[in-house]
Structure 1
Amino acid sequence: MNKISVVIRNKNEAKSIEFLLTVLNKFYKNDIDEIIVIDNCSTDNSKEIAIQNSAKFITVEKFSYGSSANLAMEISKNEIVVLMSAHVFPVSHDFFKLILDKFKNSSNQLAGLRCLHYSSDYKLYLNGISVKENLNGCGLMFACSAINKNVWKDQKFLDNIITNEDKEWTKRVVNKGYDIQFVPSIFCYDIKRNSKQNFFRFKNETIIQYQLWGKSKTIKQIFQDFFLENMGLLKGWILNAFYSFRKMIFQIKFYLNKPRKI
């Protein structure tokens, strides 16, 4: 295990993938053996950008999260595969070196590495919490995680899973005796979803949370969530309107009575 393949999943994220590929080629070129873009029928110029940045470009028409992850592992030529979304980018200067060292110094039972992004990631990592103690919090997140291809050959991803293919795989491989660990490779998750996208994500995650962890809410909890969410929105609107008014008043007073320049 001495080389790394990077596979990026993309759909109409030309601006994001251009930045990611620029970062990879500028700062990590010597750490990466190959870059592959798996694209879900983008209609923007993602393909041209990928080719200009020396990345292999593969189009997948019938996309699913599980099947795209399996394809990523299948076409990668190295034993260490870093799966990334187009809207992430590595930050730490030794991002890939840490991943490589972690695999080199671990047993063949190491199935994957979760990189750090959320504040909860840092806390779990610094507190030494293992994946057996917290499958969800310490398990892989395919927005940016490294995978042992040899373990994948034994336990492939589910092709037909709606979402959370990373969490399902985590649960399965840990039950089989493999390990997943944190690696202090830091990345930025840079995406803004609209209401429609958030609702689509919510539906899928509600289903998979029940399928994987048996979590579901009662009718009472559903109505409570609805009430609290909308009360929060109303409160936020009132506060924003109040401070917007105060800003206007302040600017008028400032305009009429400006302080002396320094």
Structure 2
Amino acid sequence: MVSVIIPNYNHAHYLKQRIDSVLNQTYKNFEIIILDDCSTDNSKEIIEQYRNNPKVSNITFNDTNSGSTFKQWNKGIALSKGKYVWIAESDDYADSKFLELTVQQLNDNNDVNLCFTQSYRIDKNNVIIDNCLHWYGSEFQNAFLADGKNFIKKSLWAQNQIYNASAVLFRKSAYPYPAKQIEKLKFVGDWYIYIMLIENGKIAYLPNILNYFRQHQTSVTSKLDNSTTHLFESYLILKHIASNRLYINYEKYNIRLNYLAGLLLTRKMSNRDFLRLSAFAIKFDYLLPFRLAVVKSKLLLSKNG
């Protein structure tokens, strides 16, 4: 069985389309868990319309906002009964064959912990902006199975190239529950989870466009490039990658670190931010060149006031 977890916050406008796209799946062995994070719109009214649907196993309304999408992920995992998990984000929707094709990959390959598909990127009015294939290299034109560590080294070492959680089905037994470390993250918890899911297994990819990924100005995705918090959170991922040697080319890895340092410099880090960064960097010998770059940045900041 698949546990479909729908975490929602103020997406009333898209909820019916989201839930109906799950109910209309050709693969029928699933439960739906709906988690509302104290929405202030009419989400509750829409969700209640599905309470008596036999596929809906749990509806939970938070009394206060959790402040973390990833706390909701963990809550959904704790409530889930399925062998596989689909985090179906509340502002996206799916092709009717999404579960049929992704479940087949996990059923046929016991060592595959995660399967993801291609997506259309859509706007708030359901207009297709483009598909996400152009974000990937030529190796993503065809379906493949890959060793998880190798995939991390090629595609996840610098950034998250699994661009939307709604395009992912994963094996529940591989999820690092309770994964408390992700609950402190605002932006990169999905990237962290994907790495931990596949580093001891395999990953499957389908080029079929089975997911409709909504991008609008209030989405987390649209804010990443302008967030210093996102840059800091990325160091948790880099820490994990460094300590497990999950990179192919150290020089490229180091370039990435120094690139992030440059971005942080342009944001004029506060003293508190610098102390947080230094405390992290000093623990890892792999990051020595980056550490030196950060110290240099701090000196420049002090000199320039």
> For structure 1, which runs of at least 5 residues remain unmatched after alignment?
224-262
Q: Is the 8 A contact 1:114 1:181 kept in 2?
A: yes
**What letter corresponds to residue 149 of structure 1 in structure 2?**
K
2:189 corresponding residue in structure 1: 165
Aligned residue for 1:18, secondary structure, equals: helix
Percent identity of equivalent pairs: 16
Where does 1:72-151 land on structure 2 (aligned, <5 Å)? 72-91=76-95, 93-107=96-110, 109-117=111-119, 118-119=132-133, 120=135, 123-126=138-141, 128=144, 130=146, 131-132=151-152, 133-135=154-156, 136=159, 138-139=161-162, 141-151=164-174
Q: Does 1:40 align with 2:40?
A: no
Aligned residue for 1:209, secondary structure, equals: helix
Q: Does 1:188 align with 2:212?
A: yes
2:290 corresponding residue in structure 1: none
Q: Is the 8 A contact 2:87 2:166 kept in 1?
A: yes
**Normalising by the residue count of structure 1, what TM-score does the alignment of the two structures yield?**
0.70
Aligned residue for 1:111, secondary structure, equals: strand
Q: Is the 8 A contact 1:5 1:33 kept in 2?
A: yes
Which has the higher Rg, Structure 1 or Structure 2? 1
Counterpart among 53, 65, 72 of residue 69 in structure 2 = 65
Aligned residue for 1:43, secondary structure, equals: coil
More displaced 10-residue stretch of structure 1: 63-72 or 131-140: 131-140
Aligned residue for 2:215, secondary structure, equals: coil
**What letter corresponds to residue 226 of structure 2 in structure 1?**
F
Go from structure 1 to structure 2 and tell me whether the alpha carbon gap of 1:7 and 1:137 turns closer, same or farther (over 3 Å shift). Answer: same
Whole-angstrom CA distance in 1 between matches of 2:107 and 2:116: 16
Go from structure 1 to structure 2 and tell me whether the alpha carbon gap of 1:196 and 1:77 turns closer, same or farther (over 3 Å shift). Answer: closer
Where does 1:15-34 land on structure 2 (aligned, <5 Å)? 15-25=13-23, 27-28=24-25, 31-34=28-31
**What letter corresponds to residue 156 of structure 1 in structure 2?**
A
**What letter corresponds to residue 208 of structure 1 in structure 2?**
E
Whole-angstrom CA distance in 2 between matches of 1:212 and 1:17: 31
Go from structure 1 to structure 2 and tell me whether the alpha carbon gap of 1:110 and 1:219 turns closer, same or farther (over 3 Å shift). Answer: closer
- What displacement does 1:64 show? 1.6
Aligned residue for 1:86, secondary structure, equals: coil
- What displacement does 1:104 show? 0.6
Go from structure 1 to structure 2 and tell me whether the alpha carbon gap of 1:122 and 1:12 turns closer, same or farther (over 3 Å shift). Answer: farther
Whole-angstrom CA distance in 1 between matches of 2:231 and 2:71: 21
- What displacement does 1:43 show? 1.7
Deviations 1:76-134, CA, capped at 9 Å, x for gaps: 1101110011111112x421101111111012x32222231122358543255942321
Go from structure 1 to structure 2 and tell me whether the alpha carbon gap of 1:11 and 1:98 turns closer, same or farther (over 3 Å shift). Answer: same
Deviations 1:219-251, CA, capped at 9 Å, x for gaps: 69949xxxxxxxxxxxxxxxxxxxxxxxxxxxx
Aligned residue for 1:134, secondary structure, equals: helix
Q: Is the 8 A contact 2:114 2:197 kept in 1?
A: no
- Backbone CA RMSD of aligned residues: 3.2
